[in-house]
Amino acid sequence: MKIAFITGITGQDGAYLSEFLLKKGYIVHGLKRRASLFNTDRVDHLYQDPHVEDRNFVLHYGDMTDSTNLIRLIQKIQPDEIYNLAAMSHVQVSFEIPEYTGNADGLGTLRILDAVRLLGLEKKTKVYQASTSELYGQVQETPQTERTPFYPRSPYAVAKMYAYWITVNYREAYGMFACNGILFNHESPIRGETFVTRKITRAAARIALGLQDKIYLGNLDAQRDWGHAKDYVRMMWMILQADEPEDWVIATGKTTTVRDFVKMAFNEVGIDLEFLGEGVNERAVVKSCANPEIKVKKGKEVLAVDPKYFRPTEVELLIGDATKANTKLGWIPEYDLQDLVKEMMESDLQLMQKDQHIQKGGYKIFNYYE
């Protein structure tokens, strides 16, 4: 049985990748951070009692900023494959905690690679590095390929640029099977609540159920190439099964504005929106509602722009060309954006119905709008 070690196992991709690898018969080890509250919601369904012998899913405490911890764990686990997914992954937050982001996302990757080298595992352990379309930043060319020059636009992207190149360097210097997957945005019902897609699907569900008045967003013109996380974790595994260690773009090849994503999400609950005004004065009102069960009045304002969500430097347009992955590895995404929005809306409606129930029972519910 192959052994995988996943950093970032408690995140969106870590959870889907764990499910995927367990189905393939892997023993999966993961790194989790100590927190004052449980932070393993996304993988709780995979949890196994530590007293059970022969577990195939094991979590270890650790942190990307702690080299000795990473060395000790890799020595103990002796993984065939490491998936380095751990990162402070929020672009806007990286402007607020740039040093920590550089440490965890940039140097953290070095710590993993160097642990493999120090332990003499260069020929045994393959490493997947979670690189990102944020590396392209300021538009140089479209669509973006493995050969498009990088121009990072945030502390997050700059840290990930270090991680990208240190992965290439360890491959070239020490002959390691170390690869970058340059993944474009990918989402799912378990996407973090403060990324724009999930913020929108949660709000659309809450507004439809009368739990929230409106949503505040930043740049509605930003364009993203959005795919489904399930399709993308499959490709992470394929990258480590390839004949040669290489770097790969993973994307759908289609791009959509934040504004159009909002329209699609509200359409899923039968609400048609009209956008009025421009820039910071832009807003959206209900044009019509085809769903008799939803009591949202025509003309009601449900979206406004709040400049607090504008970024000091923005990435305006991402659209990826995954031809290399399509032709050399046969990777074809199974979901399109419409499927993704539908699945996210169905899931958030169900979650918010639970909130509605709790509220009707006289209990207070909390919503974080960030």
Active site (catalytic) residues? 132, 134, 156
Complex with ligand GDR: residue 20 or 309, whichever CB lies closer: 309
146 binds ligand NDP (CB under 6 A): no
Query: Parallel, antiparallel, or unpaired for β 57-61 and 27-32?
Result: parallel
Structure tokens that stand for 13 in this block:
């991709």
89 binds ligand NDP (CB under 6 A): yes
Structure tokens that stand for 301 in this block:
């304002």
Cα–Cα dist 104/58, whole Å: 22
Structure tokens that stand for 95 in this block:
């402007």
Q: Tell me which stretch binds ligand NDP (CB under 6 A): 69-77, 79-87, 206-214, 278-286.
A: 79-87
33 binds ligand NDP (CB under 6 A): yes
133 binds ligand GDR (CB under 6 A): yes
Give, as one character, the DSSP assignment of residue 329: I
104 binds ligand NDP (CB under 6 A): yes
Q: Tell me which stretch binds ligand GDR (CB under 6 A): 108-116, 189-197, 203-211, 290-298.
A: 189-197
Is the preceding omega at residue 143 within 30 degrees of 0, hence cis? yes
Q: In terms of C-beta density within 10 A (0-12 exposed, 13-18 middle, 19 or more buried), how is residue 86 classed? A: buried
206 neighbors 212 (Cβ within 8 angstroms)? yes
Structure tokens that stand for 350 in this block:
């169900």
Shortest Å distance, C-beta 87 to ligand GDR: 7
Cα–Cα dist 140/117, whole Å: 35
144 binds ligand GDR (CB under 6 A): no
Angle of helix 229-241 versus helix 12-23 axis, rounded to 10: 60
Q: Tell me which stretch binds ligand GDR (CB under 6 A): 17-25, 96-104, 113-121, 211-219.
A: 211-219
Is the preceding omega at residue 152 within 30 degrees of 0, hence cis? no
311 binds ligand GDR (CB under 6 A): yes
Complex with ligand GDR: residue 200 or 296, whichever CB lies closer: 200
Query: Footprint of ligand GDR on this chain (CB under 6 A)?
Result: 89, 91-92, 132-134, 184-185, 194-196, 199, 217-219, 222, 224, 258, 309, 311, 314-315
Query: Footprint of ligand NDP on this chain (CB under 6 A)?
Result: 7-8, 10-14, 31, 33, 39, 63-65, 85-89, 104, 130, 132, 183, 185-186, 192
